[in-house]
Every structure is written in structure tokens, then in C-alpha cells.
Structure 1
């Protein structure tokens, strides 16, 4: 199934996309490549996304993932 959301990557390898009419940051390494139906991820800022019916959907915010070094 094709993804119907416009997405792009900038020179810093950050992924962005249009969710509705709003440009949103989709993540760095957390963004699934290639994006497929049912994929879920959380950005470093705590924004949660899921691909539903070929569209990237913003599910809301949560606590950012903890980094263990």
C-alpha cells in the first residue's frame, strides 16, 4: 500500500511531513524507512505517529523516550 502523506528529508537527515495542513517533524532515526502500513514510532520530542490507511497520523504526545548510554 502506498503512503499518501507528503514526506521529505532535509540535509541533516531529519524527516518532515504534512499532517493535515501543518508541517511536522517526524523524527531522525525513529522514522521507519521504508514507511509501511501499521508502523508506529515516537520522536525524540515525544510525538507519537502511526500509519493508518496509508496516511501518517499524529496520535498525540507522550514522555520522550529515555536514552541509555
Structure 2
């Protein structure tokens, strides 16, 4: 989500916070490229298995579906 010079600085978390802070939904989902070593720490993988490949993209990247609780239920 962020370019190399800003990785590990907390910038991705700040971007997520700005994007999601005013959303009315209870949860947000994100697809993360499963080949990346780092995964967002404020999100968790959902379901078993959580790795998915978009049906329309044969041979495309595999994504891990992540979810984040936005508001208490």
C-alpha cells in the first residue's frame, strides 16, 4: 500500500485510519497480495481458507481476505 521508503513507518496505518474513520459500516475488508511477506497488523485473515484468486483473472495473483472491525457491535 505504501512505497518502500515509507514502509515500517506506520504510514499505512495512518492511511487506513483516515480512510475508515468516518465510515458507518461495522467492518471493512481488504484483499492483500498473499505473496507479500508483510500483512496489515490491524487486520486479521478471515475464513478458512482465506486466500482467493479473483475468478475473472486466471493465473493472476492470489489475495488474502482481511477484515477489520470498525465499530463495536
Q: Select the structure that is richer in strand.
A: 1
TM-score (norm 2): 0.24
Higher normalized contact order (CA 8 Å, seq sep 6+, divided by chain length): 2
Structure with greater proportional helix content: 2
TM-score (norm: length of structure 1): 0.24
Structure whose CA Rg is larger: 2
